[in-house]
Chains A and B, each alone.
Chain A
Amino acid sequence: MDKPILEVKELKTHFLTDNGSVPAVDGIDFHLNDGEVLGIVGESGSGKSVTSLSIMQLVGQPGKIVDGEILFDGEDLVKASEKRMRQVRGGKIGMIFQEPMTSLNPVYKIGNQLVEALRIHKKMSKDAARKRAIEIMKLVGLPRAEDLMNDYPHQLSGGMRQRVMIAMAMICEPKILIADEPTTALDVTIQAQILDLMKKLNHELNTSIIMITHDLGVVSEVCDRIAVMYAGRIVEEGETKSLLRNPQHPYTKGLVESIPDVRYKKERLYSIPGNVPTPGSVKKGCPFAARCAFAFDKCSEDSPILIDLGDNHRVRCLLHEEENGAELLQTSMK
């Protein structure tokens, strides 16, 4: 179980724009174990989507992976040829996106789009591909699968389209499923159903999942481990329980305190003041310092390093390099 199927090492993806290089992902390390669900959490703009597209080698112009390795089953995808990557995409690693309304091609039938991956990767006959498509549609909980094959995307609701997207990503039984904010665009009941489906895929097909979201509430339900991302870096990483009960980075603490709790509806939710800085705008010190309630003089000068706290828990915060720093974190932020 604890064998990594994917290891991202020192990955840097920069956008080479006219106004200079934008370090959207600026040196991140994480791994995904076989059969595990890993959550990547962070506010919008922290580099989550760029990370997932980097794994698929689908970062569009002017983006470029400038450094690092992405080891899939030991093979470095950064160095892989385009031909090899086409085998990986959809065949070994499936991906679904945030916007189910626009992620399906409006002019092709659902059936056509579903069997496409099978025809690419499995060289299946039309009939066999059709059978398999209907099977996977049933697995992801789509009703009247046979009829749906002949429908166009605009005839389906958002929730159904996202199920189609999941079916499409899973149809070749990839080892890894990357889900980039799969529930963000959906309403709450549908969100819960989609999350249940992801859990089911993880349990029944033993698919390893990278679950990307800005919502800690979502990851806490399905993920075994969580990596918290901020401004193109991972600031904290740990097993879900320990990270949520005992966050060691002020940013994570802020995120945890902003999870809505149904038990205390009246209480005003905490929200972290300010916004994620644009990549590259913080030249010196910790990029979170400007928004951090615990910041002290060193934070605007030194760059924090990743500190291993044991039990798979790691954090990148200068407080942990100080004596008594960790105790300071116990005070509430509200």
Chain B
Amino acid sequence: MLAYTVRRLLMLIPVLVGMSLIVFFMIRAIPGDPATAILGEKASPEAREALTEQLGLNEPWYTQYVEYVGGLLQGDLGESLRTNAPITEELLPFLAATFELALVAMIIAVVIGVNAGIISAWFQNSWFDYTAMVLALVGVSMPIFWLGLMEQWIFAQELGWLPSIGRENVRDPIDPITNIYLLDTLIQGDFEQLGTAFKHLILPSIALATIPMAVIARMTRSSMLEVMRSDYIRTARAKGQKMFLVVYKHSLKNAFIPVLTTIGLQMGLLLGGAVLTETIFSWPGIGRYIIEAINFRDYTVVQSGILVIATIFVLINLIVDLLYAAIDPRIKYQ
């Protein structure tokens, strides 16, 4: 397992280098002079020259790349063209907000999705199975923005149970430590603010969780049904094992292998869904940060923001692969 982990980590290096090259050349592939593209046709030549200098575009490309990567290795994502602030500092709170939203959504999707799939397979053709699978079918075909707007309309506007936008009470903001508010308020022992943070999370995380939850439930069910027909499940039953353990021990670990692929894919898609959800619920996450940067033609922020998201994507894949190896003993020996 350790050797496998090390091997997989080493394989990350070329991927990360490739990604950094792509985003590096992306900004340089803008037709014409980047400074003009950023400042507009009417800018003075001096201003353009100054910006070119600031972007380091007078240097040969390999010098620029080495400098950029050198910065990245020290956690330096460059500076925002708009605010001149270091991007790393600016981006962290947004990243934390997205992380919190995505994590809560993923937990909801996996816990409910997997269990609904298991119970549906265990009690195949029962009323639970039918209900769950009809709901899952509705769930996969539900557009996030529509679901989000419906949630806001029903639970915020009509019933007034939950806040419809943001992640805190603007008149009484939460003191950030890690910017993961559930964690921060817990650290501070401020249970009222914990409640506030939690309430703000409910609607957007459900909107974000619905599609992956439905997909995971369907995948788990079909995978479980297949595994439960297999010979080794009959063996487990012939030993006198309780049905609960036949399902949750013998079947689930096997059935989980394809489910894990689905979860990995859904987590990738969830990053995309997060951008949409953040827009609907005015959630101050990385999606909003990058969209704003695009509006202001803040190319350095776009460049580094995309690199961060791509890196997260790659890391999720790595974690999924490592989990495979942890679950399936056959993988390590192939």
How far in angstroms is the closest Cβ of chain A from B131?
20
A95–B328 Cα distance when bound, in Å, is 26
Contact of A168 among B124, B231, B239, B328 (CB under 8 A): B239
Whole-angstrom distance between the alpha carbons of A207 and B299 in the complex? Answer: 79
Scoring A residues 158 to 180 as 1 if CB is less than 8 Å from chain B, else 0, what string do you get?
Answer: 00000001001100000000000
The winner among B235, B254, B327 for most chain A CB atoms within 10 A is: B235
Interface string of B245-286 (1 = CB under 8 A from A): 000001001100000000000000000000000000000000
Binds B, one of A96-104, A215-223, A227-235: A96-104
Given contacts A105-B250, A107-B253, A107-B328, whether A90 and B239 have CB atoms under 8 Å apart is yes
Query: What per-residue 1/0 map shows which CB atoms of B95-111 lie under 8 Å from chain A?
Result: 00000000000000000
Do B327 and A107 have beta carbons less than 8 Å apart? yes
Task: Give per-residue flags for A92-134: 1 if the beta carbon is below 8 A from chain B beta carbons, else 0.
Answer: 0011010100111111110000001100110000000000000
Q: A106-B330, A107-B327, A154-B330 are in contact. Are A87 and B240 (CB under 8 A)?
A: yes
Known: A102-B232, A107-B254. A120 touches B329 (CB 8 A): no
Name the distance in Å between A199's Cβ and chain B's nearest Cβ.
22
A30 at the interface (CB under 8 A from B): no
Complex CA distance for A58 and B229, rounded to whole angstroms: 12
CA–CA, A23 and B329, complex, Å: 41
Q: Contacts A91-B240, A121-B240 known; A152 to B329 CB distance under 8 Å? A: yes
Interface centre among B229, B232, B242 (most CB of A within 10 A): B232
Report the minimal beta-carbon distance from A174 to chain B, rounded to whole angstroms.
10
Q: Does B8 contact A (CB under 8 A)?
A: no
Count chain B residues whose beta carbon lies closer than 8 angstroms to a beta carbon of A. 22
Does B30 touch A at the CB level, under 8 Å?
no
Known: A102-B230, A106-B330, A107-B328. A117 touches B235 (CB 8 A): no
B327 and A89 contacting across the interface, CB-CB below 8 Å = no
B82 interface residue per 8 A CB criterion: no
**Residue from A88, A90, A165 whose CB has the most chain B CB atoms within 10 Å:** A90
A86 is an interface residue with CB less than 8 A from chain B: yes
- Do A58 and B234 form a contact, CB below 8 Å, given A86-B240, A105-B254? yes
**Using Cβ atoms and an 8 Å threshold, which residues of chain B touch A56?**
238
Which of A61, A88, A102, A104 sits near B240, CB closer than 8 Å? A88
Contact of A152 with B235 at beta-carbon distance under 8 Å, contacts A89-B240, A117-B240, A120-B240 already known: no
Name the A residues within 8 Å of B229 (CB-CB): 60
B237 interfacial by beta-carbon distance below 8 Å:
yes
Residues of B within 8 A of A97 (CB): 231, 234-235
Q: Please indicate the chain A residues that have their CB under 8 angstroms from the CB of B230 in the complex.
A: 102
- Taking CB atoms, residues of chain A closer than 8 Å to B232 are 102-106
Q: How far is the CA of A155 from the CA of B329 in the complex (A)?
A: 10
Chain B residues with CB under 8 A of A120: 239-242
Interface residue B236 (Cβ < 8 Å from any Cβ of A): yes
- Asked, given contacts A102-B230, A105-B232, A107-B253, whether A89 binds B329 with beta carbons under 8 Å apart, the answer is no
CB-based nearest B residue for A100: B231
Q: How far is the CA of A165 from the CA of B229 in the complex (A)?
A: 18
- Cα–Cα distance between A103 and B235 once the two chains are bound (Å): 6
C-alpha gap A85/B240 in the complex (Å): 7
Given contacts A102-B230, A102-B232, contact A90 B238 (CB under 8 A): yes
**CB closest residue in chain A, given B330:** A154
Chain A to chain B contacts (Cβ below 8 Å), 21 pairs: A58-B237, A60-B229, A86-B240, A86-B241, A86-B242, A87-B240, A89-B239, A90-B239, A94-B238, A102-B231, A104-B232, A105-B250, A106-B232, A106-B329, A107-B328, A108-B250, A116-B239, A116-B241, A117-B240, A154-B330, A165-B235
Given contacts A120-B239, A154-B330, A168-B235, 13 further A-B contacts (CB under 8 A): A85-B240, A86-B240, A89-B238, A94-B238, A97-B235, A102-B230, A103-B232, A103-B234, A103-B235, A107-B328, A116-B239, A120-B242, A155-B333
A residues near B, CB below 8 A?
56, 58, 60-61, 85-91, 94-95, 97, 99, 102-109, 116-117, 120-121, 152, 154-155, 165, 168-169
